[in-house]
Structure 1
Amino acid sequence: MDQDPMRDERVRDGRDGTPDEGDSRARQVLDRIMRGASERERAIFSQRTFGDEPILRTGADLRRERKAAASAASETTSAATHVHATHADAADARPAPLPGAPGREERAALRRAARAELPPRPRPTHDDALRQRSWLDELDAPLDADGPSSGWPYDGWTWPHPDVAPSHPRQDARKAAARAGRNLPQTLRELRRLETEPQPNGTRLTGVSLFVAQARLAADYEDDSAPSPFGVRYRYSVSYRDLSNEELRGYFAWRTAWRAHREDRIPYTYGHILAAELVNGVGAKPGMPCLKELIRLRDRAAELDADGMASGLAFDARRWIRDYAVLHNLPAEFATSADERAFAQAVATLRTAERAVLCEAGARDLTPQDMPAHVPSDADVWKAMAVLSSYNVERSPFLRNNPQSAAAVGAAVFRALARHCGKRRKTNLVDGLVGWESNVGWFPFPDLPCTLPKELPSPTYRIDACTRVTTLAGRWFIRRGYEHAGKSRDLGRILRAMDRQMREDWDDPRALKPRPLAKYLEKIIVQASAEQRQRELEAESRKIVIDLSKLGGIRAAAATTREALLVDEEIEDEPTTTAEGFPIAPPAGSGEKSAAPVAAASLATSNMPAAATLATQPDPTTAVDDDIPCGLDDLELQVVARVSEGKPFSDLLGPGKPMASVLIDSINEKLFDELGDTAIEYVDGEPRLVADYVEDVRDICGL
């Protein structure tokens, strides 16, 4: 009968625990691994294997072990509930987990065992508190650039070690001596003594009072020492006390160069101290001289920023200038720049225009009685939109060449959007572009140690069109008309879409590519542009154009008409001449009164050229046509013929010929003797024969 080889191996293992020589290599390696594992590790390993290693355990063995672990866990939980008097007793009462127990319970038991093995945490002693306090004192004290004193807890630029013992009183005395700056000039030593010496009343100067006293002490001090090769550390709200001895002397050397206009840079820390001196009246007289020094500081910092040596001081200097101008009631044009004033004026213009639109529409609980006194024009609204927009309208050739059309369309778009936002949105149009108006507390010079006045020189100081500082119940408030001082990208997209639509409506060849835009906004722009284009076309149709090139012909025709309108009395007054060019003698009964005019006429005629005299003589070869009716000439007969047929006669007129209205009047005068009435009248701007005299005129003119 065949025997199972696996059964023989299991028997041999159970008999002596050592593999026989006939065992396979894999079996020997596996036995070596399992002998090195503890019973607990073997249980955990077996728990995670079900059928991978049937040599070690069968599925029935694993199932029995898990049931035993579950029952042990339930018994442990019930036992812990009864003995829950204290946490320590409960922890001790819990038995160790059995092999093959769930992972959560095993991990909890391991954590409890690890905590039990840790030593108790030591409580801080009095020496530890002294050591910590000394460490903090060393950190709070400013760094002394003269060199580390004995007991210095720093190792290079690293943090001090907590185990450094507190310094000895003698060491503190040496530090104080080094702090007093025995190697400093006399003025700076006195400046340092103000930090430690008590006043007559027993108190020490601190804060703003200490800085003002030190600044006045060193107001005229000058230092010609070479600048330090090391840069000064950046500090925000800084005073003399925060500087080391080397930095202090370096500051006064820099200030001497600044006052002599020989500085080449502005360290951020030094700029703050200089500004603090100026606002406290040190270095310049209070008022306009001090403000000019602050402006110089701002301009120089801006130049250095432009040259790549930015220190961030120009931004702070602009705020110092504004606060100083308000506190001393100086002109507002010094408080802000021209660009800031233009931006604020544009915001104020749009807010006024928006309020007028909301009053007309009855939105936001506004009525026509709330209408502002002055409503901006279309040109003002368009100029304000151009200032606030990120789209530069000056770079658009179409908008630049059509300013009136652009202003009309832009103002129409603004009013439509203001009406839409006032009725359908919670935020007004201008608030959505530049932010809301605000009224907050005003605290001047927050980063400079200075003495502030108790009240403002003026109860209301207007910085620009949208910003003003007021006093209320002893407190200062600043009211701003906007939150964002930058260009509006939303308004820029609106103006670009308007530019594109106007180019399309005006048939401009330089078209712009369309960009995504809200449908309601696109509809507003299209409608405003189309309406303005229609108004301009109608205005051009009614426009009268005068061609100045025909002015010479018009003058010639007027001269001819003037000669034709001479009355008979003027013709009779002119002297008549004979064929030889001599004047005819007056009648015998004229007397001496007519002698002088006749002589003058004779003298004038004698002075005329021969050609002109001959031109006035009648041509004997020309026969007088007695068949011309009523004295009408050829042109007048042709005009009467055209008028009787209802045809235009403008082609008969031209340079050297009378105007149409003058010609019609001449015809009516010549036919008046025959008809006793006007023959030609104007009907709808066109000359027509009077219906009652049509046949009579035709008979007279032989038509």
Structure 2
Amino acid sequence: MRRFFDRLAVHVYRDEEIPRRAPQKSAKPSQPVPKLIGAMRSLVTTSRDYWQSRAELFLKQARLMADYEDDYAYHGVVNQYFPTYDSLSDAELRGYFTWRTAVRRGQIEKRGMSYASLYVYELLHLIGCSSAQDAYEKLHDFCAAYCELDPQIVRYIAEWENEFIIYYGLNPDLIIVRGNGACRQQDDAVLTMLHRSEHVAEEVMAAVCVLSSYRLERSKLYRAHTDDVNVLVLRILDRVAEYYGKHRQVTFFADLIAVARTSPVRLFSSAVFQPSGEEQDRVYQMHPLRRYECVSGYWTLHSYERADGAAQRLGALLRGLDAALRAHYGIAEIQPPKLKKWQTKIIREEIDAFVAEQRAAEARRVHLDFSQLARIRADADVTQERLIVEEELPMPLLSPSQGKAAALAEILPPAAEEVAAQPEMLSAAEGAAELSAPEQRLLRTLLTNGDLAWVRAEGLMLSVLVDGLNEKLYEDFADTVIEGDPPAVVHDYLDELTERYLHGSE
């Protein structure tokens, strides 16, 4: 420390002359700017509102320069984030107005995103436009043309155009026609699911496919068995909804479809924008499920939005059904998704129940065997012959008792006489199906492997009798009991039918 003070005492500090700067080369005199540009620049310092924002200043300057044209030769490229007139040099600014003059005449040239952004900002404020619709058309045409020159602008086009439509209350259909329509398509699908009872299965399934990450409509299984898959998907979704209701705090609809939300929004967040005056309270109904509301200058969005992973959760269920159902129809397998045990259980149970219903319906369905048409025609010919009344022949005189016996012998074949002589055999066991006499006789003939010639001899149709028997016995057996040609009793039901209709016991 002592050495420091000793060294300090040696040096004496006095006033010294400030060295003069070396003479500089004379700068090139700047070119004078047009008076209107000078007046625009002066708005920065002459504005009454010293604390004006960049957006407020831009709007004032844009209105002043709305009709200005220039022919300044500037070949530079300007790239700035959120550019304004004030952020450009005089040369860059004159270059912009020269470029804008050409754009308004239909000559669009790539000169950097700053020029393109400035022009879009002007259109958002309706600068140089007769109306909001006119500004929108110019905005759309410019963006469509400029994106071919500079793809950077593509990422902003949909946002600028859609928010312009909302802010100025233009036709919502423009968002669908001019945009990709993805938002509207999702809203339509959610609306269908909200009012599912008002739509047919095909419409509901179309909505499900829109909301799912798994494209079931492209599946080979779905294209081959659309109706069956539609039924199963809707049943599975109903079961899943029941599970959510019993075991989850969140609802099925909120977790897999969408949930109602209200959130603040800032229109034109990717642009320099200043409302032209005091904001009017208003509501813009973009869709039954999507509404923008402005209150005191603040915008809010009321809509149905999807939870994170909702499309994937719904898609996993659809893929799980697709993978499980392919084995039933003999279609090439696909890798099943990872599902929870309760989800796999629901899918398996619904498939099993559906397959059982199909088999039961198939058993009840009447099948027409067209190969039997020849035999049916032959039976019909016999019936027709028996109905033709031949010329009456003189009958010998018989006693009343002899007459009855002779008539019975003539009409009934021997087997029929035996049945007539034993009327107690016509009634089946208690609890059995009520069969007509020909049906009971046919069933007993089949159970005893008897001769079926009597059917044709009596003018009856064997196929009609068999169908009648199957239909009446289906209520007891839930299956077809007589099959084949010639018909025979199905072996599985032989013993029970024998007990009921031959021995008269249940």
Q: TM-score, normalised by structure 1?
A: 0.47
Cα 1:530–1:281 change in 2 (3 A) is same
Read off the aligned partner of 2:164 and give its amino acid letter.
Y
Give yes or no for the alignment of 1:393 onto 2:239.
no
SS state at 2:151 partner: coil
The residue that corresponds to 2:205 in the other structure is 382
Amino acid paired to 1:215: A
Match for residue 346 of structure 1?
Answer: 189
Match of 1:536 among 339, 353, 358: 358
Match in the other structure for 1:429:
252
| Distance in 2 between residues matched to 1:434 and 1:302, nearest whole Å | 35
Match of residue 519 from structure 1 = 341
- Distance across 2 between alignment mates of 1:639 and 1:299: 94
Answer yes or no: is the 8 Å Cα contact 1:195–1:206 preserved in 2: no
Deviation at 1:404, TM superposition (A): 1.9
User: The residue matched to 2:302 in structure 1 has which SS?
Assistant: strand
Contact 2:133–2:170 (Cα < 8 Å) also in 1:
yes
**Cα distance change, pair 489–217 in 1 and its aligned pair in 2 (3 A):** same
Match of 2:318 in 1: 495
CA contact (8 A) 1:279 1:450 kept: no
Shift of 1:662: 13
Cα distance 1:215–1:559, how it changes in 2: closer, same or farther (>3 A)? farther
Instruction: Give me the whole-angstrom Cα distance separating, in 1, the residues matched to 2:243 and 2:40.
Output: 66
Match of 2:303 among 457, 480, 492: 480
Residue type matched to 2:290 in 1?
T
Following superposition, the deviation at residue 214 of structure 1 comes to: 3.2
TM-aligned CA deviation for residue 502 of structure 1:
1.1
CA contact (8 A) 1:298 1:318 kept: no
Aligned pair partner of 1:274 in 119, 132, 150:
119
Partners in 2 of 1:661 and 1:527 — Cα distance? 41
Instruction: Quote how far apart the aligned CAs of 1:653 are.
Output: 9.7
Q: Distance in 2 between matches of 1:259 and 1:653?
A: 96
Give the counterpart letter for 2:357 in structure 1: R
Q: After the TM superposition, which of the residue ranges 213-222 and 322-331 deviates more from structure 2?
A: 213-222
Change (3 A) 1:549 1:349: same
Summarize the alignment of residues 229-628 of structure 1 with structure 2, pairs less than 5 Å apart.
230-236=76-82, 238-263=83-108, 265=110, 267-300=112-145, 309-311=150-152, 313-336=153-176, 337-350=180-193, 374=197, 378-433=201-256, 436-446=259-269, 447-452=271-276, 454-455=278-279, 459-472=282-295, 475-482=298-305, 488-504=311-327, 506-546=328-368
Q: Alignment partner of 2:301: what SS?
A: strand
Of 8, 17, 40, the residue aligned with 1:194 is 40
Residues 316 and 493 from structure 1, CA distance in 2 versus in 1: closer, same or farther, beyond 3 angstroms?
A: same
> Within 2, Cα distance between the matches of 1:381 and 1:519?
26
1:499 positional shift: 0.7
CA–CA distance in 2 between the matches of 1:639 and 1:270?
108
CA shift for structure 1 position 478: 1.0
Offset of residue 281 of structure 1 = 1.6
Determine which structure has greater relative contact order: mean sequence separation of CA pairs < 8 Å that are 6+ residues apart, divided by chain length: 2
Question: How far apart, CA to CA, are the structure 1 residues paired with 2:445 and 2:262?
Answer: 79
Q: What one-letter code is carried by the residue in structure 1 that aligns with 2:292?
A: V
CA deviation after TM superposition for structure 1 residue 232, in Å: 1.6
The DSSP-based 3-state class of the residue aligned with 2:78 is coil
SS in 2 for 1:488: helix
SS at match of 1:478: strand
Kindly indicate whether the alpha-carbon contact (under 8 Å) linking 1:460 and 1:468 is maintained by their aligned counterparts in 2: yes
User: Residues 294 and 317 of structure 1 are in contact (CA less than 8 Å); yes or no, is this contact kept in structure 2?
Assistant: no
Give distance in 1, aligned partners of 2:148 and 2:370. 57
Two-structure CA RMSD over aligned residues (Å) = 5.1
- Residue type of the partner of 1:243? L
Closer, same or farther: CA 211–443 of 1 in aligned 2, 3 Å: same
Matching residue of 1:9: none
Assess, with a 3 A threshold, how the Cα gap between structure 1 residues 285 and 540 changes in structure 2: closer, same or farther.
farther
Is the Cα contact below 8 Å between 2:286 and 2:292 reproduced in 1? yes
- For structure 2, the 5+ residue unaligned runs are 9-20, 397-405, 418-436, 474-506
Structure 1 position 527, deviation (Å)? 1.6
Could you list the per-position Cα deviations for residues 459-494 of structure 1 after superposition, in whole angstroms to 9, with x for gaps in the alignment? 432223432112457743211311569882232222
Does structure 2 retain, via aligned residues, the 8 Å contact 1:191–1:214?
A: no
SS in 2 for 1:439: strand
Matched position secondary structure for 1:235: coil
**CA–CA distance in 1 between the matches of 2:123 and 2:414?**
96
What secondary structure sits across from 2:333 in the alignment?
Answer: coil
Instruction: Provide the C-alpha distance between the structure 1 equivalents of 2:45 and 2:219, rounded to a whole number of angstroms.
Output: 70
- What is the deviation of 1:525? 1.7
Query: Partner residue of 1:139?
Result: none
| Letter matched to residue 431 of structure 1 | A
Q: What is the identity, as a one-letter code, of the residue corresponding to 1:255? A: R
Equivalences, count: 409
Q: Given the superposition, is the C-alpha separation of residues 478 and 509 from structure 1 closer, same or farther in structure 2, using an over 3 Å criterion?
A: closer
Distance 1:559 1:264 in 2: 92
Deviates more, 1:247-256 or 1:274-283: 247-256
Distance (whole Å) between structure 1 residues aligned to residue 44 and residue 470 of structure 2: 111
For 1:677, the equivalent position in structure 2 comes to none
Helix, strand or coil: the match of 1:422? helix
CA distance in 1, matches of 2:309, 2:101: 38
Q: TM-score, normalised by structure 2?
A: 0.63
Q: CA deviation at 1:332?
A: 1.6
Q: Percent identity?
A: 22
1:662–1:219 Cα change, 3 Å:
same
Partners of 1:558 and 1:284 in 2: CA distance: 88
Is the Cα contact below 8 Å between 2:380 and 2:461 reproduced in 1? no
Match 1:212 to one of 56, 59, 69: 59
Inter-partner Cα distance in structure 2 for 1:302 and 1:553: 77
Where does structure 1 lack aligned partners over 5 or more consecutive residues? 1-91, 93-115, 120-164, 166-170, 354-373, 573-623, 665-680, 687-703
> How far does residue 515 in structure 1 lie from its aligned partner after superposition?
4.2
Instruction: Tell me by how many angstroms 1:383 deviates.
Output: 2.4
Distance 1:543 1:683 in 2: 11
Change (3 A) 1:661 1:434: closer
